[in-house]
Amino acid sequence: MTQQRHNWTLKEVEDLFILPFNDLLFQAHSIHRKNFDPNQIQISSLLNIKTGACPEDCLYCSQSSKYDTGLEREKLMEIDLVLQQAKQAQDNGATRFCMGAAWRSPTDKSLNKVISMIQRVKDMGMETCVTLGMLTQKQAFVLKEAGLDYYNHNIDTSKENYSNIVTTRNFQDRLNTLESVQNANIRVCSGGILGLGEDQTDRASMLRSLSNLAIHPDSVPLNLLVPIPGTPFENIKPPTENEFIRTIAVARIMMPKSVVRLSAGRTKMGDTMQAVCFFAGANSIFYGEQLLTTDNPNTDSDQDLFVRLGINQKQANNLQSV
């Protein structure tokens, strides 16, 4: 097994990014094989349980109240509808159900409503994850007591680039919530978004911040920005395929035992690009036709890709024999 490090320097990370492409992928894939079954992909499903009206000003986000994106604001979903969506995700092969609410931070009253959802989804036999914004230490302990498995709180980008993306909170606020979650012994899901005007040094710095946490995130979702009309980033230049794949590979090397997830933006990735990402160390996807407010490949196309790549065949064979 590969040793986990928490003391990466920025230069060390940047040196990984500039390795010859084949050397980088070979190193990442070798580490991946030592820690995971290379042909097994964990499947998560993500549901937006409260849409829009977020007071934050993240320049990329369709749910910010600061921008006119045409998104219809919705109140917190009723629990029966959430459970219906969870059952559908489970029937389609998802093992983890993630629920997201567009809040800066939850009130204790709203948190109680989400706790009921968490408990009922767990009763179905699925892992649970929520993303609700910033948490106090007390709220993190309440979620732990409710049985929550994972808390998602992405750091988005580098500390250096963060103020260029959002001004209503700062980078340390993100780290403080991650610390509260880990103090409560809840597993952390934290990654970032590529395509926020960052450069390669920013990507290196973002991964360094994640890997130098006291405990590596259990899941590291890496998103390819989906530009939303009406947001300040609607015309921003996306990273190249090479840049995105390199980030996947470096994340795998730096956080060898973390699950690295292909998240938003997969509709912009061809089958070949996704296959190379899996080779480079990605071993999870979000499943379902929508991620919060952006499109995602349908389950049939994902299953077809898995079959052609020989992925999750053990799971498929087990399901067929039941």
Q: Is 277 annotated as a binding residue?
A: no
Which of 33, 10, 25 is CA-nearest to residue 212?
Answer: 10
**C-alpha angle with apex 250: 245 to 256, nearest 5 degrees?**
120
pLDDT-based confidence at residue 13 (cuts at 50, 70, 90): very high
Q: Is 54 annotated as a binding residue?
A: yes
Q: What is the per-residue DSSP string for 226-275?
A: ---TTSTTTTPPPPPHHHHHHHHHHHHHHSTTSEEEE-TTGGGS-HHHHH
Which of 69, 38, 44 is CA-nearest to residue 54?
Answer: 69
Q: 10-321 in CATH: which number?
A: 3.20.20.70
> Distance between CA 109 and CA 131 in Å, rounded?
16
Active site residue 277: no
Each residue's pLDDT tens digit, 116-153: 889 999 888 888 999 888 899 999 999 999 889 999 99
Active site residue 54: yes
Average pLDDT of every residue of the chain: 86
Q: Is 61 annotated as a binding residue?
A: yes
Active site residue 189: yes
Each residue's pLDDT tens digit, 209-266: 999 999 999 999 999 998 888 888 888 888 999 999 999 999 999 999 999 999 888 8
Q: Is 261 annotated as a binding residue?
A: yes
Which of 71, 161, 83 is CA-nearest to residue 117?
Answer: 83
Largest Cα–Cα distance in the chain? 53
Q: Which two tokens stand for residue 250?
A: 């470096």
Q: Is the per-residue pLDDT at 72 higher than 80?
A: no
Write down the domain spans for the chain.
10-321
Q: Is the per-residue pLDDT at 316 higher than 50?
A: no
pLDDT, position 110: 83
Give me the catalytic one of 189, 208, 246, 266.
189
Higher pLDDT, 66 or 183: 183
Each residue's pLDDT tens digit, 80-94: 888 988 888 888 778
Give me the catalytic one of 33, 73, 96, 98.
98
Collapsing DSSP to helix, strand or coil, 302 comes out as: helix
Bridge partner list, 108 = none
Range name among 158-172, 223-237, 264-278, 308-322 with the lowest pLDDT average: 308-322
Q: Which two tokens stand for residue 30?
A: 């070798």
Q: What is the per-residue DSSP string for 19-49?
A: S-HHHHHHHHHHHHHHHS-TT--EEEEEEEE
The H or E element spanning position 305 is helix 299-309
Q: Which two tokens stand for residue 64?
A: 């910010």
